[in-house]
Structure 1
Amino acid sequence: MLKYKGYIGQMEIDEDEGVLYGRVLNLARDGVTFSGRTVAEAKEDFTRAVEDYLAWAKEERFEPEKPYGGKLLIRATPELHRQIALAAALLDYSSANQFVLETVREKLTGLRRSGDLPATEG
């Protein structure tokens, strides 16, 4: 994982082409990518890609996507919403939001332990 100004980059190897390539994970809308023949080149291109993205946003006068800010809106059916609220109440959570956060946190912990999700800060 690469990190720069709150943005996270993930690299992969293309053995056939002999190149490292990657994308900025927390720029879902704008699909920023980077590459290099060495790790150092790929890291440098990642930094340059983020800077280019921020400059482009300024030049085009739009607000760049921010690294994740902590608010996540989800859509649920009324029945699922009811089940979440009921489970939260029955299990003594302070809110449905707390129940959802704890449930997701537990799932992510399991994925990290199994190696299916890389460890991240925070």
Structure 2
Amino acid sequence: MQYKGYTASIRFEEEAKLLFGEVVGIADTIFFEADSVDSFIQAFHDAVDDYLAWCAEEGREPDKPFNGRILFRCESDLHKSAIQAAEAKNMTLNQWLTQAVSRQIEAEAGDPVVVRAA
């Protein structure tokens, strides 16, 4: 579910008969809940609007959802080597870099990274 560029996750708690939501893809934490689908949608919209209003009151930029783009600058020789490595594996540079970053995160964090095809 999306609103103003923000995405919500949805979880249903059967015992409480409540829908719980969280805005995902940002560093700040925004939770909300409701007892029906319509009120859940409204609660999500209200939570995002409240967050944006709070940021404005505090004079700070609201977190923007991650868009999947990373500007990466490197030496020209490294750029050339990366393209050659990607071509050798019949991959685009983007695919190769995504795979390389995922492997590094897994090596450092020990958790597998789920990568969607780009």
Shorter chain as denominator, the TM-score bin is 0.5 to 0.7
Pairing of 1:1-122 with structure 2 (within 5 A): 2-27=1-26, 29-72=27-70, 85=82, 87-93=85-91, 95=93, 97-101=94-98, 107-108=115-116
Higher relative contact order (CA 8 A, sep 6+): 2
In 1, distance between residues paired with 2:87 and 2:65? 32
Q: 1:99: how far off?
A: 2.0
Say how many residue pairs are matched. Answer: 98
Structure 1: any 5+ residue segments left out of the alignment?
Answer: 75-80, 110-121
> Partner letter of residue 23 of structure 2?
V
In 2, distance between residues paired with 1:99 and 1:35? 40
Q: 1:88: how far off?
A: 1.3
Identity of aligned residues (%): 33
Let me know the Cα RMSD of the aligned residues.
3.2
> Partner letter of residue 45 of structure 1?
A
> Partner letter of residue 7 of structure 1?
Y
In 1, distance between residues paired with 2:95 and 2:17? 46
Runs (4 or more) in structure 1 with deviation over 4 Å come to 101-104
TM-score between both structures, scaled by the size of structure 2: 0.66
Per-residue Cα deviation, 1:57-104 (whole angstroms, up to 9, x for no partner): 100011101122342379xxxxxx9xx936314235563x44234888
In 1, distance between residues paired with 2:98 and 2:15? 41
